Structure 1
Amino acid sequence: MTAICELPTARLVDTSFAKVLAMVFGSGLSMYLLTSVVPLYLAANGAGGIGAGLSTGAMMFSAVAVELLVPRMLARWGYRVVLGLGLVLLGAPALVLLGTAALPVVLAVCVVRGAGLAILVVGAVALVADLTPAARRGEALGVYGVAVGVPAVIGLPLGVYLTHVIGFAALFVLAAVASLAGLVALIGLPATAGGEEQHVRVLGGVRRSGLLMPSLVFAAVTVAAGISVTFLPLAVASGKQSMVATALLLQAIAAPAARWVAGRYADRVGPAKLLAPALLLAAAGAGSLVFLPSPVAVLVGSTCFGIGFGAAQNLTLTLMYNRVDRNRYGQVSALWNLAYDGGWGTGAIVFGIVVSGVGYPIAFALTAGVVAMAVVPAVRACGV
C-alpha cells in the first residue's frame, strides 16, 4: 500500500456530503439517546442484567442480519429510497415504548430499530466513499466519524441524565423525531451509486481480498464497546450515575476526535502502521474498569478506550477500502458494519451472562483480554 504524502486542497465537504453528515447526525442521536437508556428502562421494570444485554444484542444482531442485504438493496433501489427506509425503521418504533416495558415488545422494537440502523450505517458509509476522492478517503471517513460521534457525545450521557429529568417517555419521543427529521436531508442526494455495484455476496471473496482479518480485528474492539455502554451504568452504584454520565461523555468525545486524527495520519503513513497501537490503548482502557468503582479508573479508562476505539474504526475501514475497487464499496461497508454490530451485540449478550457468575471486575478483565489478543493478528495481517 502506498502512502499519500501530498493531499489535494480541493473542498472536501460539498453540499451532498454536508447532507449526508446532517442525516447521520440525526440518526446517530436517535440511536445513542436510547443505547444506555433502554437497558435502564428494562432494569427499572424488573428485567435485570440479562434483559439489558438482550436488548442491546437484539438490536445489533438484527443489524447484522440486515447488513447482509443492504448492498443489494442499494443496487436495486438507490441511496435515497434505502436510506429513507432506514430512517423510518430506526425512529418510528421508539414510539411503541411509550405504551409498554414488556420484554418481548421491547426486544421487538430493538429488532426493528436494528434493521434501520443497519441500512443507515452501510448506506451512509458507502455513499461517503462514493462521494469523496480516494486520496482523501481517510480524512473523509474521519469527518464522517465526527458526524457519527458527536451524537454519541450528546446522546450517551444526555440519555442517562434525562431519565431523571424528563423521564423515559419524553426520551422515546425525542429519539423518534431525531431520526425522522433526517428525511429532509435526503432531498438532492444521489439516487444511485457512481459506479456499477458488483453483485457479490457480502462474504464473497473476503479472504482473498484481504478483508477478513481487519474485520475480525475490529470486531474484537467492538465487543468491548458494546459492553461499556450497556453495563457501565449498571456496574456503578445508583448514587454515582453522574460519574457514569461523565465517563460516557469523555469516551464519546474521544472516539470521534481520534477517528478524525487517525484518518488524517492514515492518508500520509498508511492505516496499517497505526492499528496495533490503537488496539493496545483500547485494551488498556477496557482493563481499567477492573478497578471499579474508582472514579479515576472509570474516567481515565473510558477516555483511553474512546481514543483506541475511535482510531480503530477509521483505520480498519480505510484499510479495507484501500484493498478493493470502487464497485465493491457496498460490500466493504456491509462487512465492516457486520464486525461493528456483531461484536457489539455479542459482547453485550455474553457479558450479561458471564457477569452474573463472576462479577464485574473479572468480566471486565476478560473483555480487555479479548481486545488485547487482537493485536497479534493486527500486526501480522496489516504488515506492521
Structure 2
Amino acid sequence: MGMTTYALPAPPATTPARPRLVTRALLLRLVSMLGSSIGFYLPLSVVPLFARDSGSARAAGLATVALLLATVACELVTPRLVAVVGYRWALGLGLVLLGAPTLVLTVTGEPGAILAVCLVRGAGFAICTVAGGALTATLIPAERRCEGLAFVGTVAGGSSLIALPTGVWAADRWGYTPVFLATAVLTLLALLAVPGLPRRIAGNTAHRGLLSGLRRPALTRPATVFAAVTAAVGVLVTFLPLATSAQPAWVAAAALLAQPAAATAASWLTGRVADRRGPARFLTPGLILAAAGMALLALIGTPAAVIGGALVFGTGFGILQNTTLSLMYSRERTGGESTVSAIWNTAYDLGMAAGALAAGLIVASAGYPLTFLLTAAAILPALALSTRER
C-alpha cells in the first residue's frame, strides 16, 4: 500500500514592517517649524497696521511686498548656504533673522525701519523654509514620504491658521508691542531644538545647483503645476474680501477660513494613500477641483457658492501641495533636497505674487466674477503637464 503524502501549507508571507514616521529628530524639527511659522504669521497682518498707525500709509502697503520679495530672493541662494554651513547653522540663522528684528519695532515706527525689518525677516523666513523643508524631507522615510509631508504640513498649516488671526486680535486688545515681543521670544525659543537636529545628511552631500535643477523637467513640471494653483491663491486672498464687500462680513471670513482648512485636510488624506498609489495620479483631480472652485467663486452674490467654492478650491490646492512636493523629492538624489525645496517654495511665492498682480491689472475692467472665471481658466493648461506626469 502506497504512502499518502500531504503538502505542508506554505508559511504565511510576512509583510515588512513600515519604517517609523515620528522620530525624535522629526519632533525636534516640528519645534523649529512651529517657531518659524509663528514668527512669520503672528505679525504678518500686524506690521501693515502698525505702519499705518505710525503715520505711513505707503510703508503699510510696501511692508508685505518687501517681505515677499526678500523671501523669494533668498530662497534662490539658500541651497548654497546649506551646502556651506549645513542644516543646523542655516536653520539657526533663519530663526534669528526672522524673530529678532521685530524687537526694533518696539522702539521705532519709522518707515525705513519698518521696511528694513520686513526685508530681514523675509530673508530669515526663506532660510527657514528652504533649509527646514529640505531637512524635513531627509527625516521622513521614502516609503512614507507623502504621509510624512502631510503630517508635517498639518502642523504647519494649523499653526498658521491660529497665529495669523491671533496677531491681529492681540494687537487690537493689547497693542503692537506685545505682539512684536511675543514674535521674537517664541521664534528664538525654537533655537533650543536646533542642536538636536542633524548637521548634514548621510550619504552623498554634494551640492546640486539651483540652475541645474531648473533645467530638469522632472522637477520643473510639478513645480509649474503647483504654481498654476498658487497663482489662484494669490487672486483669492487678495480679491475675495473686496468682491464680497456687499455681502455680510462673515461670508469672506468663512471662505478665507474654509480654503486653508480644506487644503490641510486634503493634504493629509492624500498623503495617507498617495504613498501606495503614487502621487502623480492625483495631479489631474487636484487641478480640476481647483479650477472648479475658482469658477464657483464667480457667483459672488451667493454666500453658499462663495464658501463652497473656497472649500472645493482648497481641496484641490491641498492635494497638489502634497503630491507635487512628494514627486519632486522622489526624483532628486540624496543631497539635492535643498534645491527641490527652493524650487518648490519659489514656485509657491512667485505664483501667488504673479496671480495677484495679473488679476489687479484686469479686475477694474473685467469685474470680479469674470476675473475669477479667467483665473479658473488659467489653471486648465496645467492639465497637459499633469497628464504627462502620469
Same fold by TM-score, threshold 0.5 exceeded? yes
Aligned to 1:323: 331
Match of 1:202 among 210, 224, 238: 210
Query: Is the CA contact (8 Å cut-off) linking 1:259 and 1:314 kept in structure 2?
Result: yes
Q: Please, what TM-score do these two structures have when normalized by structure 1?
A: 0.86
Q: Is 2:374 aligned against 1:374?
A: no
Query: Is the CA contact (8 Å cut-off) linking 1:196 and 1:327 kept in structure 2?
Result: yes
Match of 2:36 among 27, 38, 41: 27
What is the deviation of 1:328? 1.6
Secondary structure of 1:337's counterpart equals helix
Unaligned residue ranges in structure 2 (runs of 5+)? 1-14
Secondary structure of 2:203's counterpart equals coil
Within-5 A mapping of 1:124-273: 124-162=132-170, 164-208=172-216, 210-237=218-245, 240-273=248-281
- Of the structure 1 ranges 12-21 and 288-297, higher mean CA displacement relative to structure 2 is found in 288-297
Superposed CA offset, 1:147-185 (max 9, x none): 211112213444455554444444333333332221122
Rg: which structure is higher? Answer: 2
Over 3 Å counting, the alpha-carbon distance change for 1:66 and 1:131 in structure 2 is same
Cα distance in 2 for residues equivalent to 1:237 and 1:353? 20
Cα distance in 1 for residues equivalent to 2:46 and 2:313? 21
Query: Is the CA contact (8 Å cut-off) linking 1:157 and 1:246 kept in structure 2?
Result: no
Cα distance in 1 for residues equivalent to 2:173 and 2:248? 16
Cα distance in 2 for residues equivalent to 1:23 and 1:12? 18
Tell me how many residue pairs correspond in the alignment: 375
Query: Is the CA contact (8 Å cut-off) linking 1:275 and 1:315 kept in structure 2?
Result: yes
What is the deviation of 1:313? 1.0
What is the deviation of 1:51? 6.3
Query: Is the CA contact (8 Å cut-off) linking 1:156 and 1:249 kept in structure 2?
Result: no
- Of the structure 1 ranges 68-77 and 361-370, higher mean CA displacement relative to structure 2 is found in 361-370
Aligned to 1:3: none
Cα distance in 1 for residues equivalent to 2:187 and 2:347? 23
Match of 2:73 among 54, 61, 65: 65
- Of the structure 1 ranges 106-115 and 181-190, higher mean CA displacement relative to structure 2 is found in 106-115
Query: Is the CA contact (8 Å cut-off) linking 2:35 and 2:186 kept in structure 1?
Result: yes
Cα distance in 2 for residues equivalent to 1:91 and 1:214? 32
- Of the structure 1 ranges 34-43 and 107-116, higher mean CA displacement relative to structure 2 is found in 34-43
What is the deviation of 1:275? 0.9
- Of the structure 1 ranges 108-117 and 66-75, higher mean CA displacement relative to structure 2 is found in 108-117
Cα distance in 1 for residues equivalent to 2:101 and 2:258? 29
Report which structure shows greater RCO (CA 8 Å, sep ≥6). 1
Q: Is 2:370 aligned against 1:362?
A: yes
Cα distance in 1 for residues equivalent to 2:45 and 2:305? 20
- Of the structure 1 ranges 295-304 and 156-165, higher mean CA displacement relative to structure 2 is found in 156-165
Q: Please, what TM-score do these two structures have when normalized by structure 2?
A: 0.85
Query: Is the CA contact (8 Å cut-off) linking 1:58 and 1:107 kept in structure 2?
Result: yes
Over 3 Å counting, the alpha-carbon distance change for 1:108 and 1:307 in structure 2 is farther
Aligned to 1:13: 22
What is the deviation of 1:240? 4.4
Match of 1:308 among 316, 320, 323: 316
What is the deviation of 1:118? 1.1
Cα distance in 1 for residues equivalent to 2:39 and 2:309? 26
Over 3 Å counting, the alpha-carbon distance change for 1:81 and 1:252 in structure 2 is same
Q: Is 2:352 aligned against 1:336?
A: no
Cα distance in 2 for residues equivalent to 1:362 and 1:19? 46
* Identity value in percent: 45
Over 3 Å counting, the alpha-carbon distance change for 1:207 and 1:72 in structure 2 is closer
Aligned to 1:285: 293
